[in-house]
């Protein structure tokens, strides 16, 4: 990614990372949960509608149950991914700070004795 003036940019600022993590937490995660819940309610209703009333039911009911299970797994996977991305965004800044402090602690000023 190129930064301003065509220079190589490292990434976003800590403030931008924090804003992105907050957006995931405050908007994306709740909206994914809400969409998942809505789909669950609608699918449950459809499964009951096509379910066995006379002992056999429609084949659609069984297929919807399977799709419903897959959908639930996908929503859970997406929420877990969003959670890990959010944590990574929040941890990146402290990771770089800790690395900088660690490198700084290992450096020392040159000594006149280094030449001997």
Which residue in 17, 35, 43 sits closest to 78, CA to CA? Answer: 35
Assessment of whether the complete model's pTM goes beyond 0.75: no
Q: Tell me the domain boundaries of the chain.
A: 14-95
**Dihedral pair phi/psi, residue 9, rounded to 5°:** -100, 140
Half-sphere exposure of 31 (CA within 13 A, CB side): 7
Q: Which of 14, 76, 84, 71 is nearest to 41 (CA)?
A: 71
pLDDT at 1: 46
Question: Across the 116 residues of the chain, what is the mean pLDDT of every consecutive 10-residue run?
Answer: 53 82 96 91 85 72 85 94 94 68 71 76
């Amino acid at each position: 990614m190129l930064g301003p003036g065509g220079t190589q940019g490292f990434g976003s600022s800590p403030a931008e990372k924090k804003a992105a993590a907050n957006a995931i937490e405050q908007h994306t995660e709740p909206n994914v949960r809400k969409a998942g819940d809505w789909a669950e309610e609608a699918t449950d209703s459809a499964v009951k509608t096509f379910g066995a009333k006379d002992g056999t039911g429609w084949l659609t009911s069984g297929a919807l149950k399977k799709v419903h299970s897959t959908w639930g797994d996908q929503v859970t996977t997406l929420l877990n991914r969003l959670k890990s991305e959010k944590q990574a965004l929040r941890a990146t800044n402290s990771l770089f700070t800790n690395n900088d402090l660690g490198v700084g602690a290992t450096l020392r000023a040159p000594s006149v004795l280094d030449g001997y």
